[in-house]
Structure 1
Amino acid sequence: MSKAICYGMIGCGMMGQEHLRNVALIEGAHVGAIFEPDAEMRAQAAQIAPDARFVASVDDVLTSEDVDALVITSPNHLHLPQLEQIAQSRPRPVLVEKPLFTDVADLDRVRALNLNAPVWVAMEYRYMPPVAALIAAAADATGGIRMLTIREHRFPFLPKVGDWNRFNAQTGGTLVEKCCHFFDLMRHVLRDDPVRIMASGGQDVNHLDERYDGQTPDIWDNAYVIVDFKGGARAMLELCMFAEGARYQEEIAAVGPKGKIECLVPGPGRFWPAHLGAPPVPQLVESPRAPKGPRAIDIPVDPALLAAGDHNGSTYYQHARFSDVVRGQGAVEVTLQDGIWAVLMGMAAQESARTGRAMAVDESGFVPV
């Protein structure tokens, strides 16, 4: 039997509830304390974790003696101040949802964080089984990646409590809020850092007829981003958030001198049209240059994991590894530095699209080329 772990949850909206369902699948793990200010979200969370107690504040979670580790799944703009609050409490491992921060002016605050405990930034896409299979096989299949393309064709942003995800000021913008996953994947797959980013994007279809306190949402719904890396590889992101009719939600392709490898990832099964039958199965496809001809391999995901969330089972695999860290048996795989890079790349892409200029990017930030 694994050592028991008690989690404290800060926020339990849609993504927080996915974390609840996946923590329940980890042997020896349970959620003890939850802070969630919205009554409807509390009621939904209570259905998933009926033995958890709901507390009145973040401080109440932090002062809970039984809590061994913390999970932050609050709205984006709260992540950094809540991490700063945690830094003043008893040290415990923390898993914080992406993005790590939402304003480039806060970079120094992020770098100053000292929690005296492991901090894991939640980048679930690394752990999707078809994506993990691509990462494991890419070097051999390609002979060294020179081009990496990530395409996400998906549904619009879903409704969230207080509609916080409709505005750049609270999300960091679409290329941060949504796409920090993909910028993290680029660095992770290529094992390299970016040097230049060029982008074009905007809001063309979604949320234009919505009003919140008289304000029209300003969150973007499509973009192209090209990233040059130190080692000479190039990566591209293609995002469209009005393409929910697509068979696959994510398509990732890596190409090198030996050939091409790609993975095809369907979206959440709950959105798949019932009249079309069973949802598509994720695939890994290898296309060597010699001998020519693609080889497709199904990468099925455990139905129990698919039922626990919208991210192709990845939230479970992430929690399994994080629980090893909490038990002192593993190392953090997505660090604060990884989280910083993913946000900086998204912000640089948004600034490039806004100004029409390429951005030079490094660990200190980004400037026009």
Structure 2
Amino acid sequence: MQRYGIIGCGMMGQEHLRNIALLESASVAAIFEPDAGMRAAAAALAPGARMVSSVADVLAVEEVNCLLITSPNYLHLAQLEEIAAIRPLPILCEKPLFTDPADAPRLAALRAAYPAPIWVAMEYRYMPPVAHLLREAGAATGGIKMLTIREHRFPFLAKVGDWNRFNRNSGGTLVEKCCHFFDLMRLVAGCDPVRVMASGGQAVNHLDEIYDGQRSDIWDHAYVIVDFQSGMRAMLELCMFAEGSRYQEEISAVGPLGKIECLVPGPGRFWPAHLGEAPVPKVIVSPRNPAGPVELDIPVDPALLAAGDHNGSTFYQHQGFARTVAGLQSPEVSLMDGWWAVAIGMAAQESAITGKAVDFAAAPYAPGAARP
């Protein structure tokens, strides 16, 4: 049985709490959340959990046998290091693993020494329409040559202390928001990236937002192109001022035999009530010969939709993590996977700022380059 200790329990942490409650053999033993409002909300969702005052206090609760980190991005690496020094346990850590390119050597050291499994939370892998595309893409395409991901969504939500309004805290939009998509690209490619080209910036959102005398610098749109070792090319189109869209994510994979797409709606709580029922996720397979698209609905269990904003994926992720805690499997999203996802985002931001392509062989924050 998983008896979770939870470190940070704001908006995303509370989604995890609702999904842990749906598991058959899991409970929450301890929660560390310093914000009073979020702590009260977490306590209401997990009334049996002990509310404690630090990471060390979570680790001191004897019945805790696994950990979930859902704190602000810039705290993740230091908290992983603190856990490693006190009581290493299996960890499910929300993305991103780190936010400062200079901290890559610290992550390398942690990876080399940590004795228990670390699973990096990449919910998009587990969304039912995305998982269906991943299973069927090889047969539908005959081998993916081009992968396109488009996310048209709502602006960043308000977070405690407005930490997500600044690149220094979040790692930047292409790390904070988009490492999910870079993880999908690398998963589909089955190999590592070689270079990134990007263009992005702040066009509409947060332009007039000032916090403690500092103007928000978080980006709201970008294009990113990633070349992989296999020759596969991938592209991300991000727009965070397009919440009027019917679908939030649209993913397309194309190869010599045809194309497969998935269409994923955004959180149901944001769907306008006057438009009726929220859209159902879809997968569309379009063979070249004989030509003719086939459209499939991929419905998601309503109980899972009600438990969070990620189309049921958080629940499925926890099911896999439970098997890892039980010693039945390795993490499906390894620390190396999480590291590469951050490195691609950092390279994309570097490219957008400099106007130059970034080669990973020369990127000091990429895996391999930063090993101690």
* TM-score w.r.t. length of structure 1: 0.97
Contact 1:225 1:238 (C-alpha < 8 Å) held by counterparts: yes
Partner of 2:152: 153
Matching residue within 95, 99, 105 for 1:98: 95
- 1:272 matched to 2:253? The reply is no
Q: Work out the number of aligned pairs and report it.
A: 364
Secondary structure of 2:214 counterpart: coil
Secondary structure of 2:280 counterpart: coil
Supply the distance in 1 between the matched residues of 2:100 and 2:215 (Cα, whole angstroms): 21
- 1:128 matched to 2:109? The reply is no
Matching residue within 10, 19, 22 for 2:16: 19
Partner of 1:286: 285
Supply the distance in 1 between the matched residues of 2:89 and 2:43 (Cα, whole angstroms): 24
Matching residue's letter, 2:86: S
Secondary structure of 1:6 counterpart: strand
Partner of 1:67: 64
- 1:303 matched to 2:296? The reply is no
Supply the distance in 2 between the matched residues of 1:97 and 1:171 (Cα, whole angstroms): 12
Once the two structures are TM-superposed, the CA of residue 119 in structure 1 deviates from its matched residue by 0.3
Partner of 1:38: 35
Supply the distance in 1 between the matched residues of 2:114 and 2:315 (Cα, whole angstroms): 25
Secondary structure of 1:112 counterpart: helix
Supply the distance in 1 between the matched residues of 2:87 and 2:347 (Cα, whole angstroms): 35
Once the two structures are TM-superposed, the CA of residue 211 in structure 1 deviates from its matched residue by 1.1
Partner of 1:350: 349
Matching residue's letter, 1:37: P
Contact 1:86 1:115 (C-alpha < 8 Å) held by counterparts: no
Supply the distance in 2 between the matched residues of 1:231 and 1:175 (Cα, whole angstroms): 23
Secondary structure of 1:50 counterpart: coil
- 1:137 matched to 2:143? The reply is no
Once the two structures are TM-superposed, the CA of residue 176 in structure 1 deviates from its matched residue by 0.1
- In structure 1, the gaps of 5 or more residues are none
Supply the distance in 1 between the matched residues of 2:327 and 2:339 (Cα, whole angstroms): 24
Aligned counterparts, 1:1-369, within 5 A: 4-113=1-110, 114-362=113-361, 364-365=364-365
Matching residue's letter, 2:63: D
Supply the distance in 2 between the matched residues of 1:230 and 1:47 (Cα, whole angstroms): 48
Moved more, 71-80 or 330-339: 330-339
- In structure 2, relative to structure 1, the CA distance for the partners of 1:354 and 1:364 (3 Å cut) is closer
Once the two structures are TM-superposed, the CA of residue 364 in structure 1 deviates from its matched residue by 5.0
Percent identity between the aligned chains? Answer: 71
Supply the distance in 2 between the matched residues of 1:336 and 1:62 (Cα, whole angstroms): 21
Supply the distance in 1 between the matched residues of 2:52 and 2:114 (Cα, whole angstroms): 22
After superposition, the CA RMSD in angstroms is 1.1
Moved more, 69-78 or 324-333: 324-333
- In structure 2, the gaps of 5 or more residues are none
* TM-score w.r.t. length of structure 2: 0.96
Contact 2:102 2:365 (C-alpha < 8 Å) held by counterparts: no
Secondary structure of 1:88 counterpart: helix
TM-superposition CA deviations, 1:158-205 (whole Å, max 9, x none): 000000000000000000000000000000112121101000000010
Secondary structure of 2:175 counterpart: helix
Matching residue's letter, 2:201: G
